[in-house]
Amino acid sequence: MDAACARAGIHSADDLRALGADEVYARLLKNGTKPHFIGYYVIVMGLQGRPWNDCKGKEKADLRKRFDAIKARAHDKGRSDLEAVLDRIGVIEKRAVPS
């Protein structure tokens, strides 16, 4: 995670807190981190000082919607709907994101 954050220009816990979970995760995706819902909500829970597995029920469902929106903006750019689904199930490789 340290290396992924460094690639995304996030060099300290203060940077992470200042940016917030959604912006941090978007930057991670834009800089090559493979999307994974658990990775996203671990950041959210960590910023709240909660254990990663404390996320349940409606809160988890709401975070999934936020994750999907971030992923669509930062990772799925330029993909057709079919490519996005194939990527989600691990059938195709990640494409470079256009600038």
Instruction: Note the pLDDT of residue 88.
Output: 64
pLDDT at 73: 81
Architecture of domain 2-88: Orthogonal Bundle (1.10)
- Averaged over successive runs of 10 residues, the pLDDT of the chain (99 residues) comes to 93 96 94 92 95 93 93 72 68 57
Q: Is 71 exposed, middle or buried (0-12, 13-18, 19+ CB in 10 A)?
A: buried
Task: Supply the pLDDT for residue 37.
Answer: 94
Calpha distance 14→76 (Å, rounded): 28
Q: Which residues fall within 8 angstroms of residue 16, CB to CB, at 6 or more apart?
A: 5, 10, 24, 43, 47
Q: Looking at residue 82, what is its pLDDT?
A: 72
pLDDT of residue 86: 74
